[in-house]
Amino acid sequence: MDGPYMVHVFAKRRALWQAGCLESRVAGTNLIHQFDFAPDPLIRSLIACSDDLLQECSSNGWESADVDSVLLQRKRLIHRVNKNRRSGEL
């Protein structure tokens, strides 16, 4: 996404992540809002929307390093969900 706004997400703990909404301008970067959240709903949403994105790219014959990266990251997320499901965390 182009533009001055971005979201940084990091894991504080396995079941608690934090997001920081930032605005980046020439004068510097400003933290607009910060919050903690459970990661599993975000992960499930990323898996679902990446599937839609990859299907659209495939049906249009679009290939790029970005598409490859989405595919790789989607596989990692699915692996994480399956691992957590086996360990009873979901």
pLDDT for position 87:
77
Return the H-helix or E-strand segment holding 7. strand 5-13
Q: For 19, list phi and psi in degrees, rounded to 5.
A: -120, 140
Its pTM stands at 0.73
Q: Tell me the pLDDT band of 64, cut-offs 50, 70 and 90.
A: very high
For the stretch 3-31, pLDDT in tens is 899 999 999 998 899 999 999 999 999 99
Question: What is the arithmetic mean of pLDDT over 55-59?
Answer: 97
Strand duo 5-13 + 28-37: pairing: unpaired
Query: Where are the chain's structural domains?
Result: 1-37, 39-90
Strand partners, 10: 18
Adjacency order of strands within the sheet including 28-37: 5-13, 16-25, 28-37
